[in-house]
Amino acid sequence: MVRDSAWRRLQVAALAGALALGVAACSSDDGDGGGGGSDSPIRIGASIPLTGQFSQQGKAAEQGYKVWQAMVNDAGGLLDRKVELVIKDDASDQNTVVSDYNALISKDKVDLLIGTYSSLLNLPASAVAEKNKMLYIEPAGGAPEIFERGFKYIFFSQQATADKQGKAFADWISSLPEDQRPKTAAYPTIDDPFVKPNVDGIRKILETAGVKTVYSTTYQVDLNNFDTIVNKVRAADPDLVVHGAFFDDGVGFIRSMLKADFTPKWLYQTTAPSLGDEYAKAIGAENTEGIIFAISHAPQAETPGNAEFVKKYEEMFGGLPPEDAADAYGAAQVLQAAVEAVGNIDDQKAMADWLRKNSVETILGDLKWDDDGRPQGEFLTGQWQNGKVEYILPAKFATTDHTVMGWEPGTK
Amino acid sequence: MLEFLQYLVLGLLVGGVYALVASGLSLVFGVMRIINIAHGAFLILGAFLTYTLWSGPGIDPLLSILIVAPATFALGWALYKVTIEPVRTAPMASTVLLTFGLALVIEATMGVIWGNNATSIRPPYGSDSFSIGSFYMPKAQVFGGLVAIAVLVALGLVLTRTWLGRAIRASAANPTGAELVGIKVSSVSALVFGLGTAAACTGGAIVGILYSFVPGTHYTWIARLLAVVVLGGLGSLNGAILGAILFGLAETFTSAYVSAAWATAFPYLIVFAVLLIRPQGLLGARQREDASAL
């Protein structure tokens, strides 16, 4: 009996151990932990949400970094050294991303860092970089609060912070003739440091323009049933719905709207519509017609190097690059520009100082920053037309002069 | 009044799906005293299998349950034999750790097979509703709710009207006594784990129609399902159903009448309050170890 009990305990321990080892093996990296000499590759570390809530966007970001790595290495490398990415999976978790970036610095001893996806993860991850005085270019993470901490090593490599991303759309709506301009608006939004300021920024402009707010609510990230909120929005009967969303909730909200047969005249949504085919598949291409959103990158934009990036992406991963892949590529371009300007990888303060004083040419257009790393540009405004994305604002990046005047689900 | 009725119906429909998924978790605990943390992962596995049958051969997601349920019953049975059986009588902490590990392995496997992109199942009725004026009932929820009721009734009949059901109930009530009268508790446990897995995956087929999902979605679900079965009373099938309905209604009414910001948190506060008054849950029975602690 005693032996049987001991044997069973041993089996328990062995099984638990085997599972733990298996899991550890799945998640660990094979970095050699060394910085290397001048002939060794420059190692750039990032922790990206490859699994969990942001996995959709995280995978795209990883692809963008890999495209940049391939293109830089094909062109002879960075400072004549090959580039090697060390990528970890933070599972969309704030605690994991902090331990990952600490490990990249202290255990993997990477030469440079590059940012992760989402404000939620960049907020704590950038603090690790700042503490270690390492340059931190973030491809996503436009929450205004990120730049209110007086950090000197962080730079956001999109055109504008979250509170200004919907500005072009809101200004455009405000400028519409009286009979076309929505009179009422509803603002349901996920509680997120990137998305909420985005929606609040639009609301502020529209309220100033006289568009009355008839409903607003904030919901938590783990909500997956939107029938009730949609019913509340429907009861408020707004002309315009500005929905602050990521992907899952963006899709869930629209599917609930369709079930409730609620189709407001105008629909603006953050993030989800920029995910291209995945979005069209999730809500039905026929239901995308007229949906408006802000976006940082257009595959057909004539910015320097964009055509080459799009071609290489298609070669490596197939299809058109999603926005998050382009943003990651842009972040790597900014890092590359700073390294090349300084001429070494050791003086990261000099890189940060250089970025504060110069603009960088990227596939997202020319980027420049204020002293706190806030970008000083303007976002693109996209609209789904005939099952694909067109860019309607600003005029210099517009891919069409036609704008669908409202959301028309089921018409195409 | 119509508005209240609308929210009541929406809440009941959500609760019905929760009930189906939670039933398997409660059943497994009732017989084996195992808190199966992998239950949420089985749910998402069911959603992915349904997606494959829908996107490939074009099988309706609700009809695909006829394939998914038996296949995942067999999978659950086999997983029990390989992973759970050796530790069945180990302390609960060990089985929690083991099933958590199992959840991680299933999540990683789903990621390899289906990728980490958000996946959606959109049958033709996915965006339609039965409507009378402004009152509506989403077809997907109604069909899903009906399937959930059918499966739960079938499960109830198996438990109360068959020899297998009697063996399961006997094993849950008194494993030693059950062994003495010739029931092989180990075999019954394997069948129950298979049934629990099949119930989770059947629920996954319905959940997959209602919401988009990625392999990591199981974390959200297991938290909700554990709250549901604890509210109803661990091990009680009727308790799981009652807990699920209450949970669905609480989510909906909180969102409608309190604040959407509290919709996911408020039901947990209710669970907390119930447990303060009735630690064994609404329909749970006190265990001998509970009584001895008094």
Write the DSSP string, B165-215. Answer: HHHHHHHHH-HHHHHHTT--HHHHHHHHHHHHHHHHHHHHHHHHHHS-B-G
- pLDDT tens digit sequence for B171-206: 888 888 888 888 888 888 899 999 999 999 999 999
Instruction: Report the pLDDT value the prediction gives residue A11, as an integer from 0 to 100.
Output: 47
The pLDDT value recorded for residue A38 is 62
Q: How many residues does chain A have?
A: 412
Structure tokens at B255: 């969102």
Give the whole-angstrom CA distance, residue B251 versus residue B10: 10
pLDDT band at B169 (very low <50, low <70, confident <90, very high): confident
Give contacts of A 270-329 with B, CB under 8 A.
Answer: 278, 281-284, 287
Q: Does B114 touch chain A (CB under 8 A)?
A: no
C-alpha span between A113 and A47 (Å, rounded): 9
Instruction: Compute the distance between CA of residue A391 and CA of residue A400 in angstroms, rounded to an integer.
Output: 7
Whole-prediction pTM:
0.80
Task: State the pLDDT at residue A218.
Answer: 95
Report pLDDT for A103: 97
For residue A26, give the nearest of A43, A45, A51, A44 by alpha carbon: A51
What was the pLDDT predicted at B245?
A: 93
pLDDT (average), residues B153-169: 89
How high is the pLDDT of residue B197?
Answer: 95
Q: Which has the closest alpha carbon to B75: B115, B116, B105, B31?
A: B105
Average pLDDT (B41-54) is 97
CATH of domain A164-299+380-397: 3.40.50.2300
Q: Using alpha carbons only, how large is chain A's radius of gyration in Å?
A: 23
Q: How confident is the model at residue A13 (pLDDT cuts 50, 70, 90)?
A: very low
Domain boundaries, chain B: 2-116+134-292
Instruction: Count Cβ atoms below 10 Å from residue A313 Cβ, excluding itself.
Output: 25
Average pLDDT over residues A17-42: 50
Mean pLDDT of A7-33: 43
Whether B87 sits inside 8 A of A8 (CB atoms) is yes
Q: Say which of B6, B127, B251 has its CB closest to residue A255.
A: B127
**CA A216 to chain centroid:** 24
**Residues sharing a CB contact under 8 Å with residue A201, sequence separation 6 or more, in sequence order:** A162, A163, A164, A165, A166, A167, A170
Contact A56 B118 (CB under 8 A): yes
Pair A217, B256: CB distance under 8 Å:
no
Least Cα separation, residue A237 to chain B (angstroms)? 12
| Residue count (chain B) | 294
pLDDT, tens only, A144-177 = 899 999 999 999 999 999 899 899 999 999 999 9
Averaged pLDDT of chain A: 88
Q: What is the pLDDT of residues A184-204, one digit of tens each?
A: 999 999 998 889 999 999 999
Residues linked to residue A85 through DSSP beta bridges, in sequence order: A44
Q: How far is CA B43 from the centre of its chain?
A: 7
- Print burial letters for A231-252: b (CB count within 10 Å at least 16), e (below 16): bbbbeeebbbbbbbbbbbbbbb
DSSP code string of A269-317: ESSGGGGTHHHHHHH-GGG-TT-EEEES--TT---TTHHHHHHHHHHHH
pLDDT tens for A85-137 read 999 999 999 999 999 999 999 999 999 999 999 889 999 999 999 999 999 99
Closest-CA distance of chain A to residue B146, Å = 18
Is A32 a residue whose pLDDT tops 50? no
- Give the mean pLDDT of B219-226: 89
Tell me how far apart the alpha carbons of residues B223 and B213 are, in angstroms, rounded to a whole number: 16
Q: Within the 152-181 window of chain B, which residues sit less than 8 Å (CB to CB) from chain A? A: none
Q: pLDDT by residue (tens digit) across A256-276?
A: 999 999 999 999 999 899 887
Give residue A411's pLDDT: 63
| pLDDT tens digits, one per residue of B85-136 | 888 778 878 888 999 999 999 999 999 999 877 888 999 998 889 988 889 9
* CATH architecture group of domain A42-161+301-367: 3-Layer(aba) Sandwich (3.40)
Q: What is the mean pLDDT of residues A232-260?
A: 94
A9 at interface of B, judged by CB pairs closer than 8 A:
yes
Interface of B with A in 9-28 (CB under 8 A): 10, 14
What CA–CA distances, in Å, run from A147 to A47, A93, A127, A153, B27?
Answer: 20, 21, 11, 11, 51
> According to the per-residue pLDDT averaged within each range, which of A63-67, B35-39, B80-84 is highest?
A63-67
Touching B: A residues 51-90, CB under 8 Å:
51-53, 55-56, 58-59
Q: Helix crossing, A227-236 with B2-32: angle to 10°? A: 170
Q: Give the pairing type, strands A42-48 and A83-89.
A: parallel
Q: Which of A19-33, A174-188, B223-237 has the highest mean pLDDT?
A: A174-188
Query: Which of B127, B131, B213 is the mutation pick for testing A, counting most A CBs within 10 A?
Result: B127
For chain B, what is the radius of gyration of the CA atoms? 19
Q: Which amino acid is at B149?
A: I
Nearest to B136 by CA among B13, B260, B18: B13
Q: What is the CATH number of domain B2-116+134-292?
A: 1.10.3470
Q: Is cis: bond before A177, omega within 30 of 0?
A: no
Q: List the 33-92 stretch of B: residues with Cβ below 8 A of A.
A: 83, 86-87, 89-90
Q: Give me the amino acid identity at B70.
A: P
Instruction: Report the interhelical angle of A247-259 vs A227-236 (nearest 10°).
Output: 60
**Intervals of CATH 3.40.50.2300 along chain A:** 42-161+301-367, 164-299+380-397
Given this model, what pLDDT does residue B287 score?
Answer: 58
**For residue B288, what pLDDT is reported?**
53
Instruction: List the single residue in A219, A258, A278 with the smallest CB-CB distance to B118.
Output: A278
Judge residue B7's burial from the number of C-beta atoms within 10 Å of its C-beta, 0-12 exposed, 13-18 middle, 19 or more buried.
buried
Contact of B181 with B171, CB cutoff 8 Å: no
Which helix (H) or strand (E) segment holds residue B110: the answer is helix B92-114
Task: Using pLDDT thresholds of 50, 70 and 90, give the confidence band for residue B152.
Answer: confident
Is residue A235 within 8 angstroms of chain B, CB to CB?
A: yes
Instruction: Round to whole Å and give the CA distance between A281 and A276.
Output: 9
What is the distance in angstroms between the Cα of A229 and the nearest Cα belonging to chain B? Answer: 7
Q: Do A16 and B97 touch (CB under 8 A)?
A: yes
Tell me the per-residue pLDDT of B242-290, one tens digit each, with 9 for 90 and over: 999 999 999 999 999 998 888 888 888 888 888 888 888 888 766 555 4
- Please indicate if any CB of chain A lies within 8 Å of the CB of B131: yes
Give the tens place of pLDDT for each residue, A306-362: 999 999 999 999 988 988 999 999 999 999 999 999 999 999 999 999 999 999 999
- Chain A nearest CA to B94, separation (Å): 7
Pairs across A and B, CB distance < 8 A: 158
Residues in contact with A183: Cβ distance below 8 Å, sequence separation at least 6, in sequence order: A210, A211, A212, A239
Asked if the model's pLDDT at residue A26 lies above 50, the reply is: no
Place of tokens 């922790």: A47
